[in-house]
């Protein structure tokens, strides 16, 4: 029995290691390609050089596109967090006839083809005379990521205990004060998780951006495609390495923020604490 458990554990370790290698190997190939001395993206590289990192510094369009992506993603996430939280609050805490239908309507962009939404946005925002700029993209991307916020925040609201809100109401607090002092602090984790997912999704969004934006407002994915149409050098791999570093930095920031949430450590470490105490 003991040998069987050890053999199973060994197989699990081997499987986990193989999955880790499979996930990390493409990233390692990108890293090696970014320092290749050849004039084209080849693997394995003929030699090692940092000239393509210097070449990235000369491509100012990437920096402008990165700023546009940050502005569009941040604006869309903030708008989706506000509207999604209010919608979830209305549906969960103040149910009304047709709330389920309204929830399904809000979640529908998750299953709708993104190119269809992009065309619809193009027609709508052209009629409104706002197509071509980042404001139109923010509005469109906010609708696309709204289902993530509504689902996560709605689940968190459904699991909240009403005792604190009822106690605050008994003490004379109004609905707004209850929301900002009781409900909103308990939603910090779900807001952070849904905002992080929405930010990653919008930062890499192509369909709506390709249809809505003018040339001076292009985001980073569009500029990468335009660059690859003209050149096939390792500069694209360099941009990918920079984005990987940016994602890792964002992950570390989120991890630090999660550590600062009161009670979160005990939430994840509850089982360990119970085992140590013998429960």
pLDDT tens-digit profile of 159-170? Answer: 888 887 778 887
Write down the pTM of the prediction: 0.79
Say whether pLDDT at 198 is over 50: yes
Question: How many CB atoms are closer than 10 A to CB 217?
Answer: 20
Per-residue confidence (pLDDT) for residue 73, from 0 to 100: 92
Per-residue confidence (pLDDT) for residue 192, from 0 to 100: 87
Per-residue confidence (pLDDT) for residue 81, from 0 to 100: 93
Distances (CA, A) of 214 to 114, 134, 210: 19, 9, 9
Per-residue confidence (pLDDT) for residue 2, from 0 to 100: 57
Say whether pLDDT at 272 is over 50: no
Per-residue confidence (pLDDT) for residue 276, from 0 to 100: 43
pLDDT tens-digit profile of 145-154? Answer: 999 999 999 8
Per-residue confidence (pLDDT) for residue 146, from 0 to 100: 92
Per-residue confidence (pLDDT) for residue 3, from 0 to 100: 62
Per-residue confidence (pLDDT) for residue 74, from 0 to 100: 93
Per-residue confidence (pLDDT) for residue 220, from 0 to 100: 87
Burial 1-11 (b: 16+ CB within 10 A, else e): eeeeeeeeeee
**Domains of the chain: residue spans and CATH:** 59-261 (1.10.3720.10)
pLDDT confidence of 60, banded at 50, 70, 90?
confident
- DSSP letters, 21-37, are HHHHHHHHHHHHHHTB-
pLDDT confidence of 77, banded at 50, 70, 90?
very high
Per-residue confidence (pLDDT) for residue 83, from 0 to 100: 93
Question: How many CB atoms are closer than 10 A to CB 205?
Answer: 23
Q: What are φ and ψ of residue 36, in 5° steps? A: -75, 145
- When mean pLDDT is compared over 73-82, 121-130, 224-233, the highest value belongs to 73-82
* Pairwise CA distance, residues 204 & 240, whole Å: 12
pLDDT tens-digit profile of 39-59? Answer: 777 677 777 778 888 888 888
* Pairwise CA distance, residues 41 & 159, whole Å: 51
Q: What is the mean pLDDT of the chain?
A: 82
pLDDT-above-90 percentage for the chain: 12
């Amino acid at each position: 029995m003991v040998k069987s458990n050890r053999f199973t554990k060994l197989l699990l370790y081997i499987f986990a290691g193989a999955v880790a290698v499979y996930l990390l190997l493409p990233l390692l190939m990108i890293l090696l390609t970014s320092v290749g001395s050849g004039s084209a993206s080849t693997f394995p590289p003929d030699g090692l050089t940092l000239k393509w990192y210097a070449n990235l510094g000369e491509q100012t369009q990437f920096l402008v596109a990165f700023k546009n992506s940050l502005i569009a993603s941040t604006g869309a996430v903030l708008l989706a967090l506000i509207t999604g939280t209010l919608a979830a609050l209305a549906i969960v805490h103040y149910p009304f006839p047709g709330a389920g239908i309204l929830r399904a309507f809000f979640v529908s962009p998750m299953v709708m083809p993104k190119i269809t939404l992009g065309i619809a946005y193009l027609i709508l925002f052209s009629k409104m005379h706002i197509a071509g700029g980042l404001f139109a993209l923010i509005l469109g991307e906010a609708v696309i990521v709204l289902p993530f916020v509504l689902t996560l925040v709605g689940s968190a609201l459904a699991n909240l205990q009403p005792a604190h809100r009822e106690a605050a109401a008994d003490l004379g607090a109004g609905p707004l004060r209850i929301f900002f002092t009781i409900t909103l602090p308990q939603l910090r984790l779900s807001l952070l998780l849904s905002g992080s997912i929405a930010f990653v999704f919008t930062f890499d969004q192509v369909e709506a951006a390709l249809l809505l934006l003018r040339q001076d407002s292009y985001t980073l994915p569009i500029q990468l495609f335009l660059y690859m149409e003209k050149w096939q050098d390792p500069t694209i791999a360099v941009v990918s390495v920079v984005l990987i570093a940016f994602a890792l930095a964002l992950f570390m920031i989120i991890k630090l923020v999660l550590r600062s949430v009161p009670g979160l450590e005990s939430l994840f470490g509850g089982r360990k604490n119970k085992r140590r105490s013998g429960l």
